[in-house]
Amino acid sequence: MPSNHRMTRRQFVEMGATSVAAATAGGFILGCGGAALEKPEVGAGAGGAAAPPSGAGRPTYFARFGVDEGMIREGIAEALSHGGDYADLFFQHRVSNGLQLEDGEVNRAYTRVELGVGVRVVKGDQTGYAYTEELTRDAIKRAARTAASIADGPARPAPQSFKADGGLPQRYTLDMPWDNVKPEQKLPILDGVNAAVLKADARIKKVSVFFADEAGAVLIVDSLGRMAEDVQPMTMMYVSCVAEQNGRRETNGYNVAGRRGFDFYSPEVVGRVVREAVARTTVLFDAVQPPAGEMQVVLGAGSSGILLHEAIGHGMEADFNRKGTSIYADKIGKPIAKPFVNIVDDAAQSFARGAINVDDEGNPAGTTMLVDKGVLATYMHDAISAKHYGVKPTGNGRRQSYQHAPLPRMRATYMLPGPHKKDEIIASVKNGIYCQSFSNGQVQIGAGDFTFYVKNGFLIENGKLTKPIKDVNIIGNGPKVLEQVDMVADDLVIDEGGWTCGKDVQSVPVSQGLPTVRVAKITVGGRSQKA
Amino acid sequence: MGQDMLATAKSAVEIAKKKGAQDAAGIGRVRRTVEVGWRDGKLEKISEATSRGLDLKLYVDGRYSVVSTSDLRPEGLDAFIGNAIALTRTLAKDPFRTLPDPSLYQGQSKEDLGIADPKIDSIAAVDLRRMAEAVEAAARGVKGASAILSVSSGAATTLSELYQVHSNGFEGNYRDTSFDLFADVSVKDSDGRRPEDGDYASTRLFSELPDPASIGRSASERAMSRLGQKKGASALTTIVLDRRAAGRFVSYLLRPLAASSLQQKRSFLEGLVDKPFGSKQLSFKDDPLLARGLGSRPFDNEGIAAKRFPIFEGGVLRGHYVDTYYGKKLSMKPTTGGMSNLAWGLGTKDGAALVAEVKEGILVTGFIGGNSNDTTGDFSLGVQGYAIRGGKVGEPIGEMNISGSHLQVWKRLVAVGNDPFPYSMGRTPTLVLDGVQVAGT
């Protein structure tokens, strides 16, 4: 399918559900099962096709990729042969597995193996990029030569040796890594979920369960002689239900995700998935049309962090600011929210889907304060923007795979707890809505307009949650909405769902979170007239 | 490279059969992309690479899996397929899972689809760079260009080759090319906002790309027309979806047309074949054989020979997207599992003439976020565009939303343009819908 440049400026986040839809609709293989279907990013991978060893001993990586230091040295030298300022090689081996249950049986499995190396050459803020799936001396040099052509000058010297930073944090060391788990061990989880969902409510007529796990390894080597390695596990389970009542049908689901191992799927976690999937589906039979227009909106703790992702997160990615195209381009050091609003982007949330030990440029990744007591503190940087602004990289340089150059990207974005109580916030609203779960969102970086789509929520009438609502888009303007956040509770939850963020046609896993928050005024895209 | 991938696909199918699969389908893919990004008078990025990969569908003892790999080292491939077959054997049996009936492979069209342009070999990164530069120059040449903060432009070429082999007698391959050109322009508004818009083109043949200057100019004009954007009032009104934006809205009608959606009870279009659904204006076919179409193909991803078939005729639902698997489950004859191009029954007027007829309403030029529920047909989508006042395009509006139900909104499709958008598979013309709930202030 032709590449689509409409996507280049589209910043969005969505649940893994899209992937499942694509897989079930037979669109998996070509990713072309209709214009509306997208190729799953959380795909598939199987029992052990040349599975990477669990990352106990390091550095094991040269062997994993079948390369040696000499090949890397030659690759970097070739990459600098036209005078680039900087070059890096990004090796990646990722085995993803997917199992799907439909109509009561686990009757399809997916596996995807990705192996390749990307070569990047940077000259100022210009980038040359090439990649190859052939990890041979010649192919790496060929890719390096292509990437080198971004620069036009005499060769620069390449380092003679490479040193790994031994002190990387370990934020997702697994007790039961996926390489050692057989498919037979996973199947009972899917069967159990199916049986439990059907037993929980007789109105449930169809259950679909998608179970994904991933064992990935990356090796980043650069022209500063730095070397970084990371083993990056991932898993997600998505349950989707169709329920029928009096001839009406409703669909919804629930999912959990993280850089977790097999042991993550405890009876408690599985039970919560079942309970939430059933409750969030069957409640829709009682749902009414929410009103249309501006009103007070309360965002429930957890996945409402989608507000931050769209309203401020993308706009705080330094590339848009470096280019002057973000609405936040001239707002550093300025107050943009009430003093009790504090927002971070955090690589260090242990086992979170958005956690990383090191970014995809080999830079350390920690906790970045974006908004400190209501004041815009710093952007999220990759190496190019950090150099442009003369600051240290914040460890936000991330990429979808070896086929892509890194960009400033979010990790786990959330708001710190505030001074209010959840009950107090709900009680304060006369007419408004309470948002509980979401499926996707999108932002326009420059105008600041953003949306998020509410799957479940409630009307608030005279300070009380009353009727359920569903399927409503909320639309606002980032800086304006942040000013309108006038109450923040003390009940921060980092959502456990499988969020995927898209930018410049690249998808990366992220997390988000929020305490219960009140927004004084925002447009609700409902269908009934305002009360 | 291509012949290697044919050999790899064949060999993968043979290995799979030798290791115990009763049937297998192998697809080898090669894709070469060259892309140049240009920003504010400077080269920003050159990316150039050839990627390859193998997809393999396995049918083992009544069980099924799909595997794919970019690791094509022969010794690795053997072990990979062996492991995949072992994995498949752990699954539940599925009697509906088979390769397509070989009769569906027959009758491939002899029409020349014109989807591969040999000229692609003569277009290098330096040519793309020149085009991107020309786009920017034109973007900055329009009146009022001092408001421009940044212009990003770019051009890309893609050559794809596909080699497909099925153990029950299918072997096919084709190449296609695409050429892309785009511009995004950011402008500074007096209230501190930095609205952006852009334009793009995507074609099969190089010669069909529009003049780079026209893309640059239109990107700038679109961005500058966003200056002073305001939120309008909530209202029940007529909306005109411009041809470029309409594709997104139509996509929500296509998802529930899939047999998988029907079988899984997730489709508001279930049970509606040969029944009226939309207004008389709603007519389109799936047309995989459209000359130079972005979705054109001689066969689909199951090897099924591509054929035209109607989806809606005068508002009546005529066809679904049916693949082999869900077709068997539903006892429906397969058509194809995936959309190719849409060929619309067109009206007689272009977008501007339709706006003039509408008198009062909203011209929607872009969607932002939102979603649609395939099971119930409820939708709620963020929009931006312009007020229509006295039949003229008025002030820019944004931060607004439209909502409704597909079950009703298509009955109020009152006009269809004569102007299919050529740079997409959906090829939507301008669409005019009456009585749509718009949310704003």
Nearest CA in chain B to A447: B195
* Residue B92 forms contact with A (CB below 8 Å): yes
The DSSP string of A486-515 is EEEBS--EE--S-EEEEETTEEEEEEEEE-
Distance CA A55, CA A259 (A): 14
CB–CB contact B194 A25 (8 Å): no
Q: What is the rounded CA–CA span in Å between residue A174 and residue A169?
A: 14
Put simply, the answer to whether A150 touches B53 (Cβ < 8 Å) is no
Through-space distance between the first and last CA atoms of chain A, rounded to whole angstroms? 47
**B402 contact residues in A (CB cutoff 8 A):** 525
Per the CB < 8 Å rule, is A9 touching B400?
no
* Residue of A3, A182, A184 with shortest CB distance to B178: A3
Whole-number percent of chain B with pLDDT over 90: 95
Look at residue A217 in the predicted model and tell me its pLDDT. 94
Chain B residues touching A440 at Cβ < 8 A? 369, 371
The answer to whether residues A393 and A382 touch, using CB atoms and an 8 Å cutoff, is yes
ipTM rounded to 2 decimals: 0.94
Instruction: List the single residue in B with minimal CA-CA distance to A475.
Output: B399
- Indicate if the pLDDT at residue A45 is higher than 50: no
Cβ neighbours of residue B108 closer than 8 Å, sequence gap 6 or more: B172, B298, B299, B305, B306
Percent of chain A's residues with pLDDT above 70? 88
**Amino acid at position A331, single letter:** K
Helix (H, G, I), strand (E, B) or coil at A278: helix
Contact between chains at A108 and B195 (C-beta distance less than 8 A): no
pTM of the model: 0.92
Closest chain A residue to the Cα of B383, Cα to Cα = A475
Find the mean pLDDT for residues A116-122: 97
Residue of B nearest to A123 (CA): B44
The span from the CA of B124 to the CA of B46, in Å, is 11
B412 to chain A, minimum CA–CA distance in Å?
16
Task: For residue range B227-262, list pLDDT tens digits in order.
Answer: 999 999 999 999 999 999 999 999 999 999 999 999
Cβ contacts of B56 on chain A, cutoff 8 Å = none
Residues in A closer than 8 angstroms to B321, CB to CB, are 33-34
**Interatomic CA distance for residues A120 and A360, integer angstroms:** 12
B356–chain A nearest CA distance, Å: 27
Residue A456 corresponds to which tokens in the numbers above?
């479940």
Find chain A residues with C-beta within 8 A of B266's C-beta.
Answer: 206, 242, 249, 251
Contact yes or no for A309/A13 (Cβ under 8 A): yes
Q: Over range B71-88, report the average pLDDT.
A: 91
What does the pLDDT look like over B397-438, one tens digit per residue?
Answer: 999 999 999 999 999 999 999 999 999 999 999 999 999 999
Cβ count within 10 A of residue B13: 23
Contact B184 A9 (CB under 8 A): yes
Residues A129/B46, Cβ–Cβ less than 8 Å? yes
Dist CA A277 CA A263 (whole Å): 21
Residue A14 confidence (pLDDT): 66
Between chains, do A184 and B90 touch, taking CB under 8 Å as contact? Answer: yes
Give the three-state DSSP class for A55: coil
Among B194, B209, B397, B428, pick the best mutation site for testing chain A contact (most A Cβ within 10 A): B194
Angle between helices A69-79 and A137-148 (to 10 degrees): 20
Q: Do A323 and B226 touch (CB under 8 A)?
A: no
User: If DSSP codes are grouped into helix, strand and coil, which group holds residue A242?
Assistant: strand
Q: What is the DSSP letter of B287?
A: -
> Which of B70, B165, B243, B325 best tests the A interface by mutation, with the highest count of A CBs <10 A?
B70
> B392 CA to chain A: closest CA distance, Å?
24
Residue B282, token pair as written in the block? 């709603």
Task: Give B170-200 pLDDT, tens digit per residue.
Answer: 999 999 999 999 999 999 999 888 999 999 9
Query: Cβ–Cβ of A115/B49 closer than 8 Å?
Result: no
Give residue-wise pLDDT tens across range A309-319: 988 999 999 98
Mean of the per-residue pLDDT values for chain B?
96
User: Is any Cβ of chain A less than 8 angstroms from the Cβ of B22?
Assistant: no
Closest chain B residue by Cα to residue A51: B80
Distance CA A408, CA A317 (A): 6
Residue A206 to residue B84, Cβ atoms within 8 A: no
Reported confidence tier of residue A64, pLDDT bands at 50, 70, 90: confident
Minimal-distance CA residue of chain B relative to A204: B265
Are the Cβ atoms of A471 and B373 closer than 8 angstroms? yes
